[in-house]
Amino acid sequence: MDIQDLQIFSRVAALQNLSAVGTELGLTPGTISKRIQALEEELQVRLFERTTRSIRITDEGRRFLEHVQRVLCELEQARSHMAASSGKPVGKLKVSAPQILGHRYVAPALASFLTEFSDIEVQLDISDRHVNLHEEGYDVAIRCGTLDDSTLIAKRLVNDKIVVCGSPAYLERAGTPSSPEELNAHSCLALSDTWSWGFGSGADGNAVRISSRLRSDSSEVLRVAALADMGLMRSTELLVCDELASGRLVPVLSQFIDNSATGVYALYVSGRHVLPRQRVFLDHMSDWFRNQKRAFDASVAALRPDLGKASPASG
């Protein structure tokens, strides 16, 4: 049984798309299909149900996948341990990051990371969609804001803050809200299917329903819209730090927002041994984000002392 066949099987089970797996592994969909068929013939069991439009793993395939994932994980750990004995982390990392954060911070951080660790390869996918680390084979997902409960391990790279902000021209035209309840009279720029914004925390917290003329799955689209005087945007501070420091965006309702658990996080699968290349990547990103946060705080202190007093930066 060929190791690459097991890798192909695992990726087809995760992506359920032969073309996507072929692109990822540098093989044609026809080759992927033949390798899966050969594996099924060797095992004498059907691993996938196929139609002209879809592919779905069978119950037998799902049971086989549990064993395959353990084998691949142990093989990867063995390779990493051998590499670690030579003092050089090696291998490939698959990383996901949201759009603005990915372009503004993660991409520049990767340039210095890859320079320092020349034997590590990185695939960076930038999207505001929350990927499934288990099913899609990601080693690390970078996310910002307040995390939902999950079984993933979360490493906080840096503290951050949630901000609601709009351009000076928009606030002059529509007025500055003095309480969350006044948002129903404003044009809010909503991310995907978000219909409410949360304020406060615990028993004192409340979710305020918002109305929006513009929705997008891209935080970059919402940032551009806010700068174009189209409404209020809910974001994290680091995603709009340049705009806040320059005054192109102005924070509102800061006193109503609880930021005790807000930050930039690196998520990875629980129960999985942290590989040497993964550990050095997490450490590098943590150092990078802390340096960027210090630079932003210094910029705010110099250019916008009023903003610093109204909404003190969290370390």
Q: What is the mean pLDDT of each run of 10 residues along the chain (315 residues)?
A: 85 85 83 91 91 86 88 74 66 90 91 92 90 84 80 86 95 95 93 86 68 90 96 92 90 88 85 77 92 78 60 38
Which CATH number applies to 163-258: 3.40.190.10, 1.10.10.350, 3.40.30.10, 3.40.50.360? Answer: 3.40.190.10
pLDDT (0 to 100) of residue 226: 97
Residue 162: C-alpha distances to residues 31, 130, 170, 273 (Å): 47, 18, 20, 32
Burial state string for 53-70 with b = 16 or more CB within 10 A and e = fewer than 16: eebebeeebeebbeebbe
For residue 87, the 8-state DSSP code is T
Place of tokens 């994932």: 69
What CATH fold (topology level) applies to the domain 90-160+263-296? D-Maltodextrin-Binding Protein; domain 2 (3.40.190)
Q: Do domains 90-160+263-296 and 163-258 have the same CATH topology?
A: yes
Provide the angle, in degrees to the nearest 10, between the axes of the packed helices 3-15 and 18-25: 130
The structure tokens listed for 43 are 């095992």
Give the Cα separation of 177 and 228 in Å (integer): 19
Yes or no: is domain 3-84 CATH 1.10.10.10?
A: yes
pLDDT (0 to 100) of residue 202: 46
pLDDT (0 to 100) of residue 304: 63
The structure tokens listed for 111 are 């340039």
Give the Cα separation of 290 and 134 in Å (integer): 28
pLDDT (0 to 100) of residue 305: 63
pLDDT (0 to 100) of residue 298: 78
Domain ranges of the chain: 3-84, 90-160+263-296, 163-258
Q: What are phi and psi of 314, to 5 degrees?
A: -95, 135
The structure tokens listed for 103 are 């372009």
pLDDT (0 to 100) of residue 82: 65
pLDDT (0 to 100) of residue 85: 57
pLDDT (0 to 100) of residue 310: 44
pLDDT (0 to 100) of residue 222: 94
